[in-house]
A and B are shown apart, each in its own frame.
Chain A
């Protein structure tokens, strides 16, 4: 059984991290990340052509995480595959021993490295979650009995600070109704708004893992504010990092404070260190989680 599910259902506060498959076939850099992050997390997300840029598939890289002795969260976006390929990859994932899946819509190809690509979006994430739920019950999306079903712990992305919140929240609730059992959220910036979102969703029986993003430099903040969809760094946080003598140290401190704050509210944290893997251990130690 998925360790992540087990821990969340026992009420343990979980930690998840993230590794990116390479562009190419050499997985050694990713494996170094896995060695650093694996021991301090319950599970590791393995991204799927993140940011609509080409990488080795999440399927193969998730398997590599498993073989390294850690638990992957296989990510699947709806951008690059139609309903045949999505279902077929879910079946493949199950046979490869992957137990957690995070189903997301995916960034538009226009923002990625292959802007001429056709965005598939044959299904949207809510629909795919519903289909994955059916596959857990042994049926494909046509309702046919399959020769062996899947047993995924199904997760989805959620956006606690997006406005208008009622509309974004209604979508989150539909994802739960479709079968999402855990959420990994967009980076948490405003703890109060995050708490309100958790309060709105928890009655539906979902576990909420709070996204924590390391705002490691002024450049990263600018990048988020100008290039990244669905997120803005509020002025006071941006100023705090920008004005610090050592912005990196300040961002680690900020992340520690954020982890401590959401610890009272969420079911776990998902740490996105933007490549600074060593900082994850420090953040967790600082927050008393490692």
Chain B
């Protein structure tokens, strides 16, 4: 799930001002932003009320099925072409990927209405935690299924660092040290000596921008996926 949170309203209003936008169309997302309660129907209506209170006119709104899906978003903008055409700008309540998809699908100025923060696990309803940064070179096989890249604030592969105290983390002092958890689970599973020093990470596996083309892989009949860090870099 892509976790988003509300963005500073002052900044949003400033953005609209900068393009002299009085009339605004609002686009939400039916996937993550709906589940996270930042870009579903309810939040769109709140945003609408807020904009109106600030003297803007909302020409219309829609919750696209999946804002980051190019085809779906193109369809959604076509469906709402009248009210988008009427608007001076579009405010998108989705992650940055969705904002860009909308920006590609219309010629109007498009602004982000949310902050995109991380790929999150849903711990409980309304409580999200980052467990994976999608580094492209997964070490979970060495670390008992606990990600040090993400959950150790320093991202150390060999730990704990010297700040660990009483099993707790130096940086997030209310949380257990990731490396203590890893070592304990490895020990519980009898895997303590499975590895010595975890070697330096291959950050080229996560060079920006990432891209995967499953079709190309199939067409060429070789690898299933062409991805960053492989050919072409």
CA A126 – CA B156 in complex, angstroms? 10
Q: Knowing A127-B158, A174-B158, say if A164 contacts B167 (CB, 8 Å).
A: yes
B180 and A177 contact, CB distance less than 8 A = no
Which residue of A105, A119, A157, A174 has the most chain B CB atoms within 10 A of its CB atom?
A105
Chain B residue nearest to A178 in the complex (CB): B197
Whole-angstrom distance from the CB of A195 to the nearest CB of chain B?
20
Q: Which residues of A contact B198 (CB under 8 A)?
A: 127
Q: From A36-44, A229-237, A259-267, give the one contacting chain B.
A: A229-237
One of A12-20, A107-115, A245-253, A275-283 contacting the partner: A107-115
CA distance A122 to B202 in the complex (A): 10
| A110→B171 CA distance, assembly (Å) | 8
Q: Determine if A271 is an interface residue (Cβ-Cβ < 8 Å).
A: no
A133 to chain B, nearest CB (A): 11
| CB pair B200 A122 closer than 8 Å | yes
Most chain A CB atoms below 10 A, which of B166, B170, B198: B170
Nearest-CB residue, chain B, relative to A107: B163
B223, CB-defined interface residue at 8 Å: no
Distance in angstroms between the alpha carbons of A130 and B198 in the assembled complex: 11
Most buried by B among A123, A125, A130, A171: A171
Number of interchain pairs (Cβ within 8 Å) = 90
How would you classify the secondary structure of chain B's contact residues: helix, strand, loop or mixed? loop
Q: Separation in Å of the B20 CB from the closest CB of chain A?
A: 32
Q: Is B96 an interface residue (CB 8 A)?
A: no
Mask for B141-173, Cβ within 8 A of A = 1, else 0? 000000000000111111111111111001100
- In the bound complex, how far is the Cα of B178 from the Cα of A167, in angstroms? 12
Q: Is the CB of A104 within 8 A of B162?
A: yes
Contact residue among A108, A121, A174, A232 (Cβ-Cβ distance under 8 Å from B197)? A174
A101 to B1, CA, bound (A): 44
A83 within 8 A of B: yes
Q: How far is the CA of A174 from the CA of B171 in the complex (A)?
A: 23
Q: How far is the CB of A179 from chain B (nearest CB, A)?
A: 11
A–B Cβ pairs within 8 angstroms, 25 of them: A79-B154, A83-B200, A104-B162, A105-B156, A105-B161, A107-B170, A108-B170, A108-B171, A110-B171, A121-B154, A122-B201, A124-B158, A124-B159, A127-B198, A159-B164, A162-B162, A164-B180, A167-B160, A167-B180, A170-B183, A229-B163, A229-B171, A230-B163, A230-B164, A232-B165
Chain B residues near A (Cβ < 8 Å): 153-167, 170-171, 179-180, 183-184, 196-201, 203
Rank and list the top 10 A-B pairs by shortest CB-CB distance, nearest first.
A229-B163, A229-B170, A126-B158, A124-B156, A230-B163, A105-B161, A167-B183, A108-B171, A121-B154, A230-B162
Having A119-B154, A231-B165, one finds 18 other A-B pairs with CB under 8 Å, namely A79-B154, A105-B154, A105-B156, A105-B162, A107-B163, A108-B153, A122-B200, A123-B200, A126-B158, A127-B199, A162-B160, A162-B162, A163-B167, A164-B167, A167-B160, A167-B183, A168-B164, A171-B160
